Amino acid sequence: MIDTITDNPTKTDLYYARVHLNMSANQAADFLGIHRTTYKRQETGNSKVCIAAYKALMMLSGFMPEPFTGWRIINGKLYSPENEGYSPGEIRASEFRRKQVFELEREIRVLQRQLNPEPAKAPETAKYAASHDNIVNVDFKKR
C-alpha cells in the first residue's frame, strides 16, 4: 500500500512503487536509465534501494516528496491539496509574476511617499536650543 514517499525506502517500497505504475521490473529499469540487473537487485534486497530511483517512480505515479505532501500530478498538471491545478506554463510564469508583484509593491511605496511626505526635520541647532529652554539664569554675584 502506498500513501506517502519515504526517505528511507525498502525493497518493498520500491516494489509497490513499480507495481502501482503497472510496470515490469525491466520497464522500471529502462525508465530509470539503469541496468535491469541493478534494478532487480534493489527490488529483491540484494542491493540498497536507490532513493532517487524510488522517488522517481513515486513521482511518476503522482506522489510528491515531503514539502509537497498532498499534492498530485494528474494528466500533466500539478494539483494542490485544495485541488487547484497548475500547468507547467503557469508554474514557469510564477517567477515572472513574483517579480511583477515585487515591482508593483515598490512603486506603491514610492507613490505613498510622494502623497504623504515626511515632515521636515528641525535643524540640529534648533533642537539643541529647544532642549535648553528650561535653563534658569543664575546670577553668581555676591549679595
SS3 sequence of 91-112: HHHHHHHHHHHHHHHHHHHHHH
Q: Is 51 part of any domain? A: yes
The closest of 83, 15, 5, 74 to 44, measured between CA atoms, is: 15
Q: What is the pLDDT of residues 5-53, one digit of tens each?
A: 788 899 999 999 999 899 999 999 999 999 999 999 999 999 999 999 9
Q: Is 47 part of any domain? A: yes
Looking at residue 128, its pLDDT comes to 53
Q: Which domain holds residue 55?
A: 11-67
Looking at residue 143, its pLDDT comes to 53
Q: Is 40 part of any domain? A: yes
Q: What is the pLDDT of residues 108-136, one digit of tens each?
A: 999 999 998 877 666 665 555 555 555 55
| pTM score above 0.85 | no
**Encoded amino acid at 20, one letter:** H
How many domains does the chain divide into? 1
Q: How many CB atoms lie within 10 A of CB 93?
A: 13
